[in-house]
Amino acid sequence: MKDKKNLTTEINPEIRDILIEMGAEDIYKCYQCGKCTSACPWFQVEIYDYPVFKFSLETALGAVASSEDKKELDKEIELIYRCVGCEACLEQCPHGISTPNILRAARRLLVDFDSYPETLKSIVQKTHNVGNPFGEHRENRADWAKGLNVPDFQQGIEYLYFPCCLPAYETRNQKVAQATVGILQKCEVSFGILGVKETCCGEVIRRIGAENIFEEVTKANIKEFKDSGVKKVLVTSPHCFTTFKNEYPDFGADFEVLHTTQYFSHLIDTGKLKLNKSFDKKVVYHDPCTLGRKNNIYEEPRNILKNIPGLEFLEVENFNRNLSLCCGAGSGGLWLEWEKDERIVNVRLKQLMDTGADIIAVACPYCLQMFEETLKSMDVDIIVMDISEIIFECL
């Protein structure tokens, strides 16, 4: 980011207007108080000063990604793609401005003009081409369910279980989908999966800015759900949850969506899910941004954990619930590499480990993946488990 901008020459109303048209309409609400910057996870990575509060002003001036100098432009675009979309800024903003939405307007233009990081371009293309961001074959999408007697979804089944891409393909995350299925079967829930017909929900590619491909994926998913007679969808990922619940209706979706923590909490409260075995561990819960801040689901995961016999429940001091710090994986962050001392995940893991917990409980495949990958390079005993896995161990 340039230290000084010559404002008289750099105001570009045309760029401002197109960014407003693409979703940055909140820019004029900003009075530059800077609370967003102090809330941003990049602020926690102490060496990096991430100028969140500047983005509204720069957008209002049409001065986003505006440099004609190649290296300077690289830096500006890198800043735009640093945002992990956690909305910690929105939580603090007195005027309710979502900086991720403002940045997404710029991202949409940059994606249309092939001007965004190659790694993200690759996941957008893979999602478009084969329905998942890893480039895995469609025919292998239901391999995680082999031998588990999971029925294909059909008319008359109550719930569609939609694991989405990480739990479908990634070895560590597959265990979460398998545990979820185990719980559903134990509780005799009527459910099925789309199997190889399942396609990525598209949340991450929308955050990256690939709006056109997101729309294509969304419409195809809605058609598949309608054709299959899906009325209720149960999801493992808060990212599927938020896009299904808050964004798909704009494209004609009319199904109910539940996150597994909501459903399992309900099953515990109604006595249908019985936790018989003791889980004698100290467990700290990490609120995923997309489940907590974006969808206000704080109590259900806690209710589950507090109902597990023997489990000692811990909170991260100061940084819990709506003040939870992001794992760094959102909005494409899972695929972007930063210098070791610039990684949000390290700060969050330290907060979680400082509680003295044996286990970090998560409720999001992205958080699980991010923590697992980072812990591999650390000499520590703490382990990460999805809440579904903890429940499954207690059945």
Partner 1 sequence: MDIIVCIKRVPQTAEADVTIDYTGKEIEKDRLSFDMNESDSYALEEAVLLKEKFGGEITVISLGHQDTEDTLRIALAKGADNAIRIKAEDFDELDGYKTAQIIKASISDLNFDLIFTGCIATDDAYSQVGVTLAELLDIPHASLVIFIDTSEKRAHVHRELEGGLMEHLDISLPALCTIQTGINEPRYASLIAIRRAAKKEIKVLGKEEIKDENILLNTQIEELFIPPKTKEVEFLTGSPGESAGKLANIFKEKGLI
The binding site for partner 1 (CB under 8 A) comprises 12, 14-15, 18-19, 62, 64-68, 70, 73-74, 77, 106, 109-110, 112-116, 122, 124-126, 128-130, 135, 137-139, 213
Exposed, middle or buried, 203 (CB in 10 Å: 0-12/13-18/19+)? buried
Among residues 125 and 185, whose Cβ is nearest to partner 1? 125
308-320 per-residue burial string, b: 16 or more CB within 10 A, e: under 16: beebeebebeebb
Residues 6+ apart with CB under 8 A from 131: 138, 141, 198, 199, 200, 217
Answer for the pair 45, 344: CB distance below 8 angstroms, yes or no: yes
Comparison of 130 and 353: residue with beta carbon closer to partner 1: 130
63/364 with CB nearer partner 1:
63
Q: Which ranges of 229-259 does DSSP label H, i.e. alpha helix?
A: 238-242
Strand partners, 192: 160
Q: Which residue has the tokens 């230290």?
A: 3
Residue with smaller CB distance to partner 1, 76 or 203: 76
Residue corresponding to tokens 């393909």: 169
The minimum distance between CB 106 and partner 1, in angstroms, equals: 7
> Which of 205, 382 has the CB closer to partner 1?
205
Q: How far is the CB of 61 from partner 1 (least distance, A)?
A: 12
In the complex, the smallest distance separating the C-beta of residue 122 from partner 1, rounded to whole angstroms, is 7
Eight-class DSSP state of 230:
-
- Smallest distance, partner 1 to C-beta of residue 130, A: 6
Residue 36 C-beta: closest distance to partner 1, Å: 22
Q: What's the closest the beta carbon of residue 347 comes to partner 1, in angstroms? A: 29
Please provide the distance, in angstroms rounded to a whole number, between the alpha carbons at the two ends of the chain.
Answer: 53
- Give the separation between CA 237 and CA 330, rounded to whole angstroms: 12
Nearest residue (CB) to partner 1, 19 versus 311: 19
